[in-house]
Amino acid sequence: MNVEERFRSWAEVEDDIRAAALVGSRARMNVPADEWSDYDIAAFARDPDALLGRDDWVRELGDVRLTFLEPTATGDGRERRVLYDDGTDVDFAVLPAEAIVGERAAEVVARGIKVLLDKDGMLAERLADVPPAQPRAEPSSEELSELVNDFFYHAVWAAKKLRRGELFTAKQCVDSYMKALLLRMLEWHARARDPEVDTWHRGRFLEQWAEPRAVEELRAAYAHYDEEDVRRVLFATIELFRRLSKQTAERIGLAYPDDADEFATGLTERILDPAEPSTMPGTVEG
């Protein structure tokens, strides 16, 4: 038996578990599972916290090598992640019954779901109430402005850290926080080019849905742990973000905040110019 079948057999006699379903790659039809795919099992329990706080039950399903807790992908629950001896990895999200509602559930269900057990008919009832997944709306003027301002604020912030000699912190900002904002813009840009494109979540399958030129430019947009390379990548990331942002704004008929871009880019350049003083009036530590 595979882990899905072993879980079903265990859950059938576990009174706390009232329903369970397989979701994710093992349940979806488009971009189906391959040999590297994990199992995503959503279990609906009377007392999710009590079950998540234990790991004895996942050990009944196989020889556990690693297990830990983390937030679910949707951020509205917790899951126990498990790596078994044979290399099988499973995400067990244990949730209350009322979690099977709303927009987030609609996105999960739309990608595919396989009911494993439904002791009380609760899962079928809840799934019937899940609304159809809706296309993601294009950004509003406020959302575009917020993202652009957030990005360029942190460009300046990263430059200050780099100039101060905080290489690790600067690199984390450029290659983590700013890249998360860049990812959101990549999604908006892709949907501005084709409203029907599926941009998935958290960058999944980005190489398939993002603009090919942007994917190529990403190759040069991550830095070595080196001061000069972080500086280079900061400006490469700015150039890529700016191009995508301006094209997105133009395609959906919004104004691009040029003033914010120009001010922050100029300030970033001055901060990282060796000829400039190492301290700036009004600079706040932090």
Q: Evaluate if residue 278 carries a pLDDT over 70.
A: no
Under 8 Å between Cβ of 103 and 131: yes
Type of residue at 86: D
* Torsional sign, CA 216, 221, 223, 227: positive
Sheet with 17-23, strands from edge to edge, namely 64-71, 78-84, 89-95, 39-45, 17-23, 114-118
For residue 82, list its beta bridge partners: 67, 90
- pLDDT attached to residue 30: 72
Q: What is the pLDDT of residues 133-167, one digit of tens each?
A: 777 889 999 999 999 999 999 999 999 999 999 99
> Which residue, 283, 153, 152, 163, is CA-closest to 230?
163
Q: Evaluate if residue 283 carries a pLDDT over 70.
A: no
Those residues whose C-beta lies under 8 Å from the C-beta of residue 164, and which sit 6 or more positions away, are none
Per the listing, tokens 């430059």 go with: 159
Those residues whose C-beta lies under 8 Å from the C-beta of residue 87, and which sit 6 or more positions away, are none
State phi, psi for 144 to the nearest 5 degrees: -65, -45
Higher pLDDT, 159 or 23: 159
Burial class from Cβ neighbours inside 10 Å (0-12, 13-18, 19+) for residue 252 reads middle
| CA distance linking residue 77 with residue 70, whole number of Å | 9
Q: Which two tokens stand for residue 109?
A: 């269900």
Under the banding of pLDDT at 50, 70 and 90, the label for residue 284 is: very low
If one counts every other C-beta atom within 10 angstroms of the C-beta of residue 204, the result is 14
User: Which range, of 11-20, 23-32, 137-146, 251-260, averages the lowest pLDDT?
Assistant: 23-32
- pLDDT attached to residue 101: 57
pTM: predicted TM-score of the whole model, two decimal places = 0.84
- pLDDT attached to residue 98: 66
Q: How high does pLDDT run on average in the chain? A: 90
Q: What is the pLDDT of residues 66-114, one digit of tens each?
A: 999 999 876 667 899 999 999 999 999 998 866 665 555 666 777 788 9
Domains of the chain: 3-129 (3.30.460.10), 141-271 (1.20.120.330)
